[in-house]
Amino acid sequence: MLHHPPLARFGDRVATGLLDVTSDPAALDSAGFWAVCADFEGGLTCARFADVRQEPVPAPVPGAWRGPAPEDWTSSLDRAAYTAAVRRIREHIAAGEVYQANLCRVLSAPVPPGADVDALTALLARGNPAPYAGTIRLPGHGVEIATASPELFLRRDGRAVESGPIKGTGRTEADLLEKDYAENVMIVDLVRNDIGRVCATGSVTVPDLCAVEKHPGLVHLVSTVRGELRADAGWPELLAAAFPPGSVTGAPKSSALRIIEALETAPRGPYCGGVGWVDADRGTAELAVGIRTFWIDRAADALRFGTGAGITWGSDPEGEWRETELKASRLLAVASGGHAAIEGALT
């Protein structure tokens, strides 16, 4: 297998020279520049790097990434299983157990030996630009991720903290339904409650509610929640309060997590977790929700990608399946088609 040295890339910021790796969130309050990957199931990998520099994402190199054939992708839930699970969630809603739950499926395909997630990141940067795009490559620690996430999980600047939950997706703004707006408001309330557990009383605000953001091939409804961390709250407390992200769990979160565990047949891993960086020296950070994210599972020789949809009482099972297809289609084309797919996507 080709050797790819440890690296983290976030936008035009590149970190190399791995110093240490820990699963202790308190390290993020210490010193240095950290790349962070938090699995949906709770596993945390924090990697401190010695060298951080500004460097644009390189252009894709033809042949550097050889992805799986489009027909090689398989889903943890097929169409029949997914739509049946949507109906089951609606039964839980009718019983008063939950208002909304995010139902996801994990797609898998064989990955060629020596595949490099940073080469995939270069393709994604051309074919699916995203505000929180990034790579974390720690092959010795089981973390190889390329993300094109559009969603902010947590941003920090000193004591100020901000989250940007996404709920509601369509091809165009006209496709957004009343259900999408209702769902967004539900999740904003959840995120306010999560952040409020570690923020100063009265400091939590919602400066933007249900703003429409355009992304390649689709639009999202995005809200912004802000607060001021209490003096006694650091990264361990903030992550404990806010994780996993509310937009990819549901409301109430505890009920949604129980329902998700019963209905989903594959672990989400870094999908729907948190991916990003923490600059402990400057007290700044940006963690994205791990959506639109590929990761390599070397133990299974698999490339994985997750897609999902938020389910409410107003959900149509077939419509939710189509939403998961919409979210996945462009990115799977990039990952499967390599350089040629990018040229096609750009024309």
Q: Which residues are catalytic?
A: 151, 167
Residues 6+ apart with CB under 8 A from 183: 100, 167, 168, 310, 312
Distance CA 110, CA 280 (A): 37
Q: What is the rounded distance in angstroms from the CA atom of residue 5 to the CA atom of residue 302?
A: 20
Show the tokens assigned to 264. Answer: 């989903």
Handedness of CA 155, 157, 158, 159 (dihedral sign): negative
Write out the DSSP string of 21-76.
Answer: EES-GGGGGSSSEEEEEE-TTS-EEEEEEEEEEE-PPPPPPTTS-----GGG-EES
- Return the closest-CA partner of residue 153 out of 144, 162, 141: 162
Given a contact cutoff of 8 angstroms between Cβ atoms, the answer to whether 283 and 296 are in contact is no
User: Contact at 8 Å (CB) between 122 and 128?
Assistant: no
Distance CA 122, CA 138 (A): 17
Calpha distance 142→207 (Å, rounded): 38
CA 111 from centre of chain: 21
